[in-house]
Amino acid sequence: MQQEHPLGSLFDAIVFLANNLIPIMIVGFGLALIFRTLIYITVQRQSWFVRELEKRVYRVLSHLRHDEEVSFFTILKDTMQKTYHEIFELRRKYGRRHPDQIMTLNDRIFMVQEGTARIILDFLRQARYLEPQHDHPKFLEITKAVFEHNPIFGRLFGYLPVNLINSFLNILPGLFVIGGIFGTFLGIMEGLPALGGMDVTDSVASKAVMDNFLSKISFAMNTSIVGILLSVLMTVANTLLSPDNIYYSVINRFTNTIEIVWNKAAHNVISHHDAAFVEARDRLDMEAGEALRFVEQFKRDQFLLNNARFFPEYFQDHDEEGEQGEHPVHADGDNPDDGHQAS
């Protein structure tokens, strides 16, 4: 059997790409539009929580006396808990009478409640160590760290990294233009070999070859037109659904809200109840992490057992470790079997 030349396979792949580049770009545009909308909704839900927190902070501070000394951590924790309870727990409780299916579906898909709880807990972990006697805390850096390292809001559906997808979507309009130009050159390259076999003495055949060549060139030019059109549409979508401006507004509004609470507070004394609240959440996170590692290890061991014939070295190493463990060594470093042999 004659072996196929690698360049022939490469040329076939290029021809296939040239003939299907327009559908590929259209499907890519559709997926990009979906991801852009999902990221925009995720950031909007963060902005919604920060606005609700800001309203309740102003409401709580307005009821404080001018001479009343309050703890920064206590008032912040109570306000955040109150916000979380009212926008999630009470809405879910009374939502049975007036169900809001769209909002509930968004919260479940984007895990808004879990992400909000993580923001509250992570910021309280930082706030407990702030001391008024030192320099003014860098709330902007703390806020950025809390939001950027949020494992819920930082990933779509808990898996896809938002920053990576957002960066790719920002450069996608340029890629559409490049793809259109690339498709044009691929179409020209595909049509040029037919000109080499054209017989100039046969006018009818030559006209058929030229008509076929011009048809391929026309189709190739359509690729550039589609690429430019998709680039324009994607640029408009990136502008209208840009999460960057909303994200910066969220960071600044959250920081300003915390600054107001800090300026109003007289100290940052943490009660035993508040300290136990954060420590209990820390223990839950540690236990959840240990349980997750145990589950992952169990899955890996089950996979290796089910595919033992593909990983013989893994079981060989474990068997050797088991054989070594069958002969315990005493504290003085002597093996008990050596004594019997010597006697």
Please name every residue paired with 160 in a beta bridge, in sequence order, or none if there are none: 156
d(CA 171, CA 189): 27
Query: How confident is the model over 265-307, as pLDDT tens digits?
Result: 888 888 777 777 666 655 555 444 444 454 455 555 555 555 5
Q: What is the model's pLDDT at position 184? A: 82
Backbone angles phi, psi at 18, to 5 degrees: -65, -35
Place of tokens 């109840």: 273
d(CA 285, CA 151): 13
Q: What is the model's pLDDT at position 279? A: 67
d(CA 242, CA 40): 7
Work out the angle at residue 198's Cα, subtended by the Cα atoms of residues 194 and 202, and round it to the nearest 5 degrees.
145
Residue 184, Cβ density class (10 Å: 0-12 exposed, 13-18 middle, ≥19 buried): buried
Q: What is the model's pLDDT at position 87? A: 84
To the nearest whole percent, how much of the chain has pLDDT over 90? Answer: 27
d(CA 73, CA 274): 8
Read off the pLDDT band of 144 (50, 70, 90).
very high
Q: 191 with 219: CB under 8 angstroms? A: no
Candidates 142, 136, 121; CA nearest to 76 is 121
Q: What is the model's pLDDT at position 69? A: 83
pTM above 0.75, yes or no: no
Q: What's the mean pLDDT in 52-60?
A: 92
Query: How confident is the model over 182-238, as pLDDT tens digits?
Result: 888 877 777 676 666 666 666 777 777 777 777 777 777 888 899 999 999 999 999
Please name every residue paired with 141 in a beta bridge, in sequence order, or none if there are none: none
Q: How far lies 44's CA from each of 106, 176, 288, 305, in Å?
A: 11, 28, 29, 46
Structure tokens at 18: 């040239």
Structure tokens at 277: 């609240």
